[in-house]
């Protein structure tokens, strides 16, 4: 695990001591964290390391020097340096940077923002956007409507509390809190009043309408001539954002449509719009919209596409070109609540999941466009590619694919070939040198072929492999995950009960270490899923459930 990310970074002790000290660079990083969500710098930890050198000692006056010098080099910024001793005995300084109440800058008038693991400059008109978004941050915790906590909708409040206590994303210590304590923990209540977030999620209809910016969703369907043929609206403010997602998915009849995909002698029904994709996009529009700006959310359904249009631009630092990787939350507390309710993926992985689902089905990736006061995500309304769908499914069953590898396979399977430069652009990577993490294992396994060199390298999926699904013999079974190996053993014994270890080994794959297969069988016997008859070479294995 790296120490560098959205909320933390590591700096060498030499960066603030001796002749190599670079105080301007340190000030830049502090400003970037303060303009984002705050964070910390671990001064005394080298890049790529998790601990400082064991013999390292921090000069006694360094914490005070850090506080003084950063104060001189920045504006609207507060830091708290603390001396720490690591487990290996080495000393370092943990520098906490609070989120700035106003826009922070360096003393020479430069602005920066932390995006992922990079401190990026904020230039031109983006400075005004940054100022606008900084002033909007407290919106969730304001109590300007003066709604007493006793006026919360008891049904919505009870359902929300029950869902939080049932979620495996909520810590046990949080679940143990009383009802009022839990509402305070998620900032739905402050003192005796509902916050704006509380009104939005558990308030009454009249109070939600008084907010003025509570979300309104309109669904408009048009035919090939752009004539309006159907319209639905959720504009009466009776539903919380979480309930709106369920209502839209349930009430739009077109989301029930499906395509029939041939599967040998049978036909498989595949939905026209995948539920996971629609729900993820809807919750993203509700969580990341600016709640200080009025405007409806539109779902525009055309014969060939679905457009989801959200008011307001993307959060500062996120662009249509980096949406797959950038991670910036506009409404931090609403995002945390929706994550804990399991309504959205963890921070920074929502669009990854959307790409994964769509490309694994042989469908195009979503298209993101941004205007001066709107963001539009377009989904192509196309049937899944049966060949690509079968290919990704079989590859996922045979190989321990990571999400990024399924995305890469899906892209390449949809195209005859892509150059390194084209593939990096479609994956929104800064350069072709970053393709290694996405491609190396796929090339090693023979799933992806390549020709050429440097940026002119062409990557492709062998058309014959795509057609026949006859994967190379050098599979990943040697490193197959435990749960996949267990599933293979159980499936084999369902088909061939009373089998010897050698027979199972031959059918599943001789490249699996025999000792590892035997260990899995032993664990299944202990768990009473598999029964063994006989001993040594005459031992035969059967599923316990096969006799029921």
Q: Could you give the CA distance from residue 122 to residue 135 in angstroms, rounded to a whole number?
A: 16
Pair 202, 235 in one domain: no
pLDDT of residue 30: 93
Give the model confidence (pLDDT) of 302-336 as tens digits. Answer: 999 999 999 988 877 788 887 877 767 778 889 89
Residue 441: which CATH number? 1.10.10.10
Residue 239, pLDDT > 90, answer yes
Q: How many CB atoms lie within 10 A of CB 338?
A: 20
Residue 288: which CATH number? 3.30.565.60
Which residues, in sequence order, are bridge partners of residue 375? 310, 370
Pair 165, 119 in one domain: no
Does residue 30 form part of some domain? yes
Q: Phi and psi at residue 438, in whole multiples of 5°?
A: -95, -20
Domains: count for the chain: 5
Pair 500, 405 in one domain: no
Pair 49, 103 in one domain: yes
Find out whether 161 and 189 touch, Cβ atoms under 8 Å. no
Question: pLDDT-derived band of residue 242, with 50, 70 and 90 as boundaries?
Answer: very high
Query: What CA–CA distances, in Å, run from 33 to 103, 116, 378, 412?
Result: 11, 11, 32, 37
Strands 530-533 and 540-543: antiparallel
Pair 362, 223 in one domain: yes
Pair 237, 370 in one domain: yes
Q: Phi and psi at residue 418, in whole multiples of 5°?
A: -135, 135
Burial of 71 by CB count in 10 Å (0-12 exposed, 13-18 middle, 19+ buried)?
Answer: middle
User: Which residues are CB-contacts of 433 (< 8 A; sequence separation ≥ 6)?
Assistant: none
Would you report the helix, strand and coil content of the chain in percent, each value rounded to 5?
A: 40, 20, 40
Does residue 131 form part of some domain? no
- pLDDT, average across residues 77-99: 91
Pair 163, 310 in one domain: no
Q: What angle do CA 461, 463, 467 make, to 5 degrees?
A: 115
- pLDDT, average across residues 481-496: 78
* DSSP assigned state of 383: -
Angle at which helix 275-288 crosses helix 332-340, to 10 degrees, equals 150
Q: Could you give the CA distance from residue 436 to residue 364 in angstroms, rounded to a whole number?
A: 23
Pair 172, 229 in one domain: no
Does residue 430 form part of some domain? yes
Residue 266, pLDDT > 70, answer no
Residue 56: which CATH number? 3.30.950.30
Give the model confidence (pLDDT) of 3-37 as tens digits. Answer: 667 788 888 888 888 777 889 999 999 999 998 87
Domain endpoint, select from 360, 380, 400:
380
Q: Which residue has the higher pLDDT, 229 or 130?
A: 229
Residue 425, pLDDT > 50, answer yes
Pair 43, 114 in one domain: yes
Find out whether 380 and 304 touch, Cβ atoms under 8 Å. yes
Domain endpoint, select from 161, 178, 210:
210
pLDDT of residue 455: 66
Give the model confidence (pLDDT) of 280-289 as tens digits. Answer: 999 989 988 8
Give the model confidence (pLDDT) of 448-487 as tens digits. Answer: 888 877 767 888 887 777 777 776 654 445 555 667 778 8
Q: Could you give the CA distance from residue 287 to residue 278 in angstroms, rounded to a whole number?
A: 14
Strands 297-302 and 266-271: unpaired
Note if the pTM is more than 0.85: no
Locate the DSSP E strands across 398-441: 418-419
Angle at which helix 350-360 crosses helix 275-288, to 10 degrees, equals 160
Find out whether 9 and 117 touch, Cβ atoms under 8 Å. yes
Pair 77, 145 in one domain: no
The closest alpha carbon to 394, from 409, 412, 416, belongs to 409
Does residue 3 form part of some domain? no
Share of the chain above pLDDT 90, in %: 34
Does residue 132 form part of some domain? no
Q: Which residue has the higher pLDDT, 260 or 148?
A: 148
Pair 251, 353 in one domain: yes
Does residue 118 form part of some domain? yes
Does residue 463 form part of some domain? yes
pLDDT of residue 430: 74
Residue 489, pLDDT > 80, answer yes
Domain endpoint, select from 468, 490, 515:
468
Q: Could you give the CA distance from residue 37 to residue 43 in angstroms, rounded to a whole number?
A: 19
Across the chain, what does the average pLDDT equal? 85
Strands 105-106 and 74-75: antiparallel
Residue 525 domain boundaries: 477-547
Pair 249, 353 in one domain: yes
Find out whether 77 and 112 touch, Cβ atoms under 8 Å. no
What's the chain's Rg over C-alpha atoms?
28
Find out whether 245 and 282 touch, Cβ atoms under 8 Å. yes
Does residue 156 form part of some domain? yes
Q: What is the 3-state secondary structure (H, E, C) of 207-262?
A: HHHHCCCCCCEEEEEECCCCCEEEEEEECCCCCCHHHHHHHHHHHCHHHHCEEEEE
Residue 546, pLDDT > 70, answer no
């Amino acid at each position: 695990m790296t120490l560098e990310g959205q909320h933390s970074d590591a700096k060498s002790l030499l960066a603030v001591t001796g002749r190599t000290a670079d105080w301007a660079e340190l000030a830049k990083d502090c400003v970037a964290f303060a303009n984002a969500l705050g964070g910390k710098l671990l001064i005394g930890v080298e890049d790529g390391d998790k601990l400082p050198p064991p013999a390292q000692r921090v000069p006694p006056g360094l914490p005070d020097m850090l506080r003084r010098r950063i104060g001189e080099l920045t504006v609207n910024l507060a830091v708290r340096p603390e001396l720490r001793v690591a487990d290996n005995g080495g000393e370092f300084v943990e520098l906490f940077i609070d989120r700035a109440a106003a826009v922070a800058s360096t003393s020479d008038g430069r602005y920066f923002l932390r995006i992922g693991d990079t401190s990026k400059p904020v230039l031109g008109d983006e400075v005004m956007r940054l100022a606008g978004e900084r002033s909007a941050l407290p919106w969730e915790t304001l109590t300007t409507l003066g709604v007493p906590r006793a006026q919360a909708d008891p049904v919505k409040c009870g359902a929300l509390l029950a869902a939080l206590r049932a979620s495996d994303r909520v810590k046990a210590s949080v679940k143990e809190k009383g009802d009022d304590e839990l509402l305070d923990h998620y900032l739905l209540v402050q003192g005796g009043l509902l916050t704006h977030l509380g009104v939005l999620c558990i308030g009454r209809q009249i109070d939600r309408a008084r907010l003025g910016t509570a979300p309104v969703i309109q669904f408009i369907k048009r035919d090939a001539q752009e004539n309006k043929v159907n319209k639905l609206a959720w504009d009466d403010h009776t539903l919380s954002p979480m309930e709106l997602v369920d209502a839209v998915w349930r009430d739009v009849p077109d989301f029930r449509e499906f395509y029939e995909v041939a599967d040998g002698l049978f036909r498989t029904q595949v939905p026209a719009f995948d539920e996971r994709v629609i729900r993820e996009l809807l919750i993203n529009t509700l969580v990341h919209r600016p709640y200080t700006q009025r405007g409806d959310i539109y779902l525009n359904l055309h014969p060939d596409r679905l457009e989801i249009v959200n008011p307001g631009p993307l959060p500062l630092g996120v662009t249509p070109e980096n949406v797959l990787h950038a991670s910036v939350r506009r409404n931090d507390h609403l995002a945390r609540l929706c994550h804990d309710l399991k309504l959205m993926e963890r921070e920074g992985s929502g669009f990854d999941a959307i790409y994964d689902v769509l490309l694994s089905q042989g469908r195009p990736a979503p298209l993101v466009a941004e205007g001066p006061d709107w963001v539009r995500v377009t989904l192509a309304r196309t049937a899944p590619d049966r060949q690509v769908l079968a290919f990704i499914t079989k590859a996922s069953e045979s190989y321990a694919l990571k999400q990024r590898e399924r995305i890469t396979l899906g892209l390449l399977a949809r195209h005859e070939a892509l150059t390194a430069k084209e593939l990096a652009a479609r994956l929104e990577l800064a350069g072709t040198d970053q393709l290694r993490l996405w491609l190396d294992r796929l090339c090693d396994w023979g799933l992806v072929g390549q020709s050429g060199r440097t940026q002119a390298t062409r990557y492709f999926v062998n058309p014959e492999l795509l057609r026949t699904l006859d994967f190379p013999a050098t599979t990943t079974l040697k490193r197959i995950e435990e749960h996949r190996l267990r599933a293979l053993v159980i499936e084999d014994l369902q088909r061939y009960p009373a089998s010897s270890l050698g027979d199972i080994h031959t059918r599943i794959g001789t490249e699996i270490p025999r000792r590892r297969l035997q260990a899995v069988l032993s664990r299944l016997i202990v768990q009473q899923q598999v029964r063994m008859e006989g001993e040594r070479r005459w031992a035969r294995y059967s599923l316990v459930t096969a006799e029921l």
